[in-house]
Amino acid sequence: MATVPTDVVRSLFVTGLKNAHGVEHQALALIDRQLDHLANYPEVEAQLRRHRGETETQISRIDEILTGFDETPSTLKDLGLSISGNLAALAHVFAPDEILKNSFANHAFEHFEIASYTGLLTLAELGGFGGQRSLLEQSLGEEQRMAAWVLDSLPDLTRKYADLRAAGATASH
């Protein structure tokens, strides 16, 4: 494999950080829209609130790394992805199985974030940006734990949804 010039790796790394910053803002929008619809699912609400705090910390970590490169986040990417997060969450609001659709989307989104942090860690290694690894690894671990929780909780969540529907309750929220 050819050696990639440091300036190219740096540019790719900074772009990836700005993209990840925007994705974390998208995550906040997705979480915030879901929190309004979880009256029947307090365990999901508690987990999303916890992960929302992690997401805010992840944004701070990315800010710290960007500052170290004398860079700033992309306001346009943050705004655009935040809007898209709101629209994505709204797409499920009127579905009777909103909780299930949101859970499926959350699982996929967490894996998107896992892939993003994995790519950033690879670029950090290529560029010799070792000082940023621990911050990125912390965020990666949080995303991996959230993805595992979403998947692990899905059987019980699905049963609860089915029970609520069978009882004639509003099962989506």
Structural contact between residues 100 and 157, judged by C-beta atoms closer than 8 angstroms:
yes
Whether pLDDT at 93 is above 60:
no
Q: In whole angstroms, what is the distance from residue 43 CA to residue 109 CA?
A: 19
Q: In whole angstroms, what is the distance from residue 2 CA to residue 74 CA?
A: 30
Whether pLDDT at 103 is above 90:
yes
The secondary structure of 93-161 as a DSSP string is HTSTTHHHHHHHHHHHHHHHHHHHHHHHHHHHHHHT-GGGHHHHHHHHHHHHHHHHHHHHHHHHHHHHH
Residue 29, Cβ neighbours under 10 Å: how many?
A: 19
pTM of this prediction?
0.89
Residue 45, Cβ neighbours under 10 Å: how many?
A: 16
* Mean pLDDT on 15-43: 92
Whose CA is closest to 98, among 20, 12, 1, 33? Answer: 33
Q: What is the pLDDT of residue 159?
A: 96
* Mean pLDDT on 137-158: 98
Length of the chain: 173
The band of 114, judged by pLDDT with boundaries at 50, 70 and 90, is very high
- Architecture (CATH level 2) of domain 6-166: Up-down Bundle (1.20)
Q: What is the pLDDT of residue 84?
A: 56
Q: What is the pLDDT of residue 172?
A: 57
The band of 115, judged by pLDDT with boundaries at 50, 70 and 90, is very high
**Average pLDDT value for the chain:** 88
Q: In whole angstroms, what is the distance from residue 10 CA to residue 25 CA?
A: 23
Q: In whole angstroms, what is the distance from residue 131 CA to residue 56 CA?
A: 21
Residues 6+ apart with CB under 8 A from 63: 21, 73
The band of 33, judged by pLDDT with boundaries at 50, 70 and 90, is confident
